[in-house]
Structure 1
Amino acid sequence: MNMDLGSAIVGAIIITICMLPFIMIGRSRKKKEKQFIQALQNNANKHNCQINQQEVFGTFAIGMDKEHNALFFTRSTKEKEEEQFVDLSNIKKCEVINTGRTFRNKNGDKNGTKTIIDKLELGFIPKAKDQPEIKWEFFNADISYQINGELHAMQKWATNINILLSPKS
């Protein structure tokens, strides 16, 4: 009986030690997500807006106020924190800008080429021709080595933004 109790205590301690890193990572991720949402909301408050749609990723967050046609972006890198804002009423079109390199594959694959993404940006083309295009960087291979769903998220946001920008009939 004593040996069973001792084994159970040792087993519980080992399970707790094994689970602790996952719990800590989850808490850290939730805390970071709350900080991004708060940063988006603070940026929106500066422009008298309210975030009603948002998405948070590892190093960035994007949010929208559909009522005021405003889009907000917050990004955190080791060097800096950046907040950006776009008034969608001045934008004609939104597009995903995928900058990369294509290499010829020497393995004899049927495709023969391999594409590596260097940078992913969301580009906003203004209605006024004299205004420059606005670009928000979501991924840069020099900063992050691996894409974690940024391309899919950008395509989804570009589609949603373009639907919002399309004339209502």
Structure 2
Amino acid sequence: MDLGTTIIGVISITICALPFILTSRNKKKKEKELLNSLINFARQNGSEITKHEIGTYFAIGLDESKNTISFLQKTKKSSQFQFIDLSLIKKCQINNISKSLSNNETVVDKLNLNLTTLSIKDADFNLQFYNSNISFQLSSEFDSLEKWNKIINNILNNKLLNMTA
């Protein structure tokens, strides 16, 4: 094989691989920024993140010793933070909001984790993992939603068991 063909081959492979490398690097940078924002927010509220997950437009973290949740929803225009003390929560459930299309199909519009407070006076918390107006395609948001619903409900059930013991 001659040197010219080898050089052209290497350049072609580099040009083809470059977008994937840059996309991966950009995604990792974005995830790191979300995690740092979440950690700083938790610290401002006296918590430490011991378990976390980063999505495309959200970050969620748990302080396992204090049973608090820190949540960040980030769009291109804004960031919305929520801090939740799970001792004030009665119930956690998944809210899958769908919309109907003209040909009798339904598509996911929003995926939320709703946390109902113990007191009627306090507003419930709505953690939005997916919104079709922000992100056009679901990736792993539903798996994340189910995972965090299970984690939070385990904490709430343990709290209930400790109260009755």
Question: Normalised by the size of structure 1, how large is the TM-score?
Answer: 0.87
- What are the superposed Cα offsets for residues 88-130 of structure 1, whole Å, 9 maximum, x if unpaired? 110011111111134685xxxxxxx532221111111111132
Alignment partner, residue 18 of structure 2: 20
Distance 1:28 1:40 in 2: 18
Alignment partner, residue 56 of structure 2: 58
State the SS of the aligned residue for 1:6: helix
Alignment partner, residue 148 of structure 2: 157
Question: Normalised by the size of structure 2, how large is the TM-score?
Answer: 0.89
Alpha carbons of structure 1 residues 18 and 48: separation in structure 2 relative to 1, 3 Å? same
Distance 1:116 1:31 in 2: 31
Q: Pick the aligned partner of 2:133 from 119, 130, 142.
A: 142
Cα-Cα RMSD: 1.7
State the SS of the aligned residue for 1:168: helix
Task: Give the superposition deviation at 1:146.
Answer: 1.6
Task: Give the superposition deviation at 1:134.
Answer: 1.2
Instruction: Establish whether residue 42 from structure 1 lines up as the match of residue 40 from structure 2.
Output: yes
- What are the superposed Cα offsets for residues 9-60 of structure 1, whole Å, 9 maximum, x if unpaired? 1111111111111110111011001101101100111011110111111111
Amino acid corresponding to residue 93 of structure 1 in structure 2: K
Alignment partner, residue 120 of structure 1: 111
Instruction: Establish whether residue 4 from structure 1 lines up as the match of residue 25 from structure 2.
Output: no
State the SS of the aligned residue for 2:72: strand
Alignment partner, residue 73 of structure 1: 71
Structure 1: state its 5+ residue gaps. 106-112
Alignment partner, residue 121 of structure 2: 130
Max Rg structure? 1
Q: Which runs of 4+ in 1 moved over 3 A?
A: 102-105
Distance 2:9 2:102 in 1: 53
- What are the superposed Cα offsets for residues 109-166 of structure 1, whole Å, 9 maximum, x if unpaired? xxxx532221111111111132221112222222222211212211110111000111
Structure 2: state its 5+ residue gaps. none
Amino acid corresponding to residue 65 of structure 1 in structure 2: D
Instruction: Establish whether residue 168 from structure 1 lines up as the match of residue 161 from structure 2.
Output: yes
Alignment partner, residue 110 of structure 1: none
Amino acid corresponding to residue 168 of structure 1 in structure 2: L
State the SS of the aligned residue for 2:47: coil
Q: Percent identity?
A: 39
Distance 1:127 1:98 in 2: 22
Give aligned pairs, total: 160
